[in-house]
Structure 1
Amino acid sequence: MVFEEKLKQLIKSKYDKLSDLAEKFGMNYSQLSQYVNGKKVSIDFLNKIIQEFPEADLNWLLRNNDILNESRPPYKVPLTNNQIIDKIEVLLADLKDQIEEEK
């Protein structure tokens, strides 16, 4: 999968329309559309992507898997910080119950 496909996938995970992201970034729609369709991106744009999608792995985004001949499953957005905290709280509650039962 190439950069443009990964960028589209990432954007679709959070936005219904490209114009919404373009507005958030303060750029015109056609410029964002060009990036999504293969125009080389700027460092400034990459910084905006990482800030808007902190869960994104920049190495995954920039690496061309075809060149590396990798067969990895499609990228999935990891859990949000709140989801991670919720899971930890459940695990800690279970651990606390187990400790209480051992007493």
Structure 2
Amino acid sequence: MTFEEKLRQLIKTKYSKLSDLAVKFDMNYSQLSQYVNGKKISIDFLTKIIKEFPEADLNWLLRDDDAMVKENPEEYKAILNNEQIIEKIEGLLQELKEKLPS
């Protein structure tokens, strides 16, 4: 299952229409539709998804199911919660930005 398929599945657990989530996120429906249909997502959007769907496992959402999947699902449990993962990613991105030449 692709990221886009998982995202659609996740959204359907709370919203019957994509436009309802667009309103909730205060974003353009067209932009949300592009994310759901395969456009690269932003960290801001991913943060909103995690806050709106705290029950979703970020590892599951982002993992490519075409890759080798281990038989023991316990091995996929995150040591960090979703918010901690986002904070870690943001910190790493900030470090990379600081290393870029001006």
Give the TM-score normalised by structure 1.
0.66
Q: Which residue of 1 aligns with 2:9?
A: 9
Q: Which residue of 2 aligns with 1:46?
A: 46
**Pairwise CA RMSD:** 1.6
SS at structure 2 position matched to 1:67: coil
The whole-number CA distance in structure 2 between the counterparts of 1:60 and 1:9 is 12
Which structure 2 residue ranges, 5 or more long, are not aligned? 73-102
More helix by share: 1
Tell me how many residue pairs correspond in the alignment.
72
SS at structure 1 position matched to 2:41: coil
Which structure 1 residue ranges, 5 or more long, are not aligned? 73-103
The whole-number CA distance in structure 2 between the counterparts of 1:68 and 1:14 is 30
Cα distance, 1:55 vs. partner?
Answer: 0.2
Q: Which residue of 2 aligns with 1:79?
A: none
AA partner of residue 22 (structure 2): A
Cα distance, 1:67 vs. partner?
Answer: 1.9
AA partner of residue 57 (structure 1): D
Q: Percent identity?
A: 76
The whole-number CA distance in structure 2 between the counterparts of 1:38 and 1:70 is 26
Show the 5 A alignment for 1:1-103: 1-69=1-69
AA partner of residue 68 (structure 1): M
AA partner of residue 29 (structure 1): Y
AA partner of residue 7 (structure 2): L
Give the TM-score normalised by structure 2.
0.67
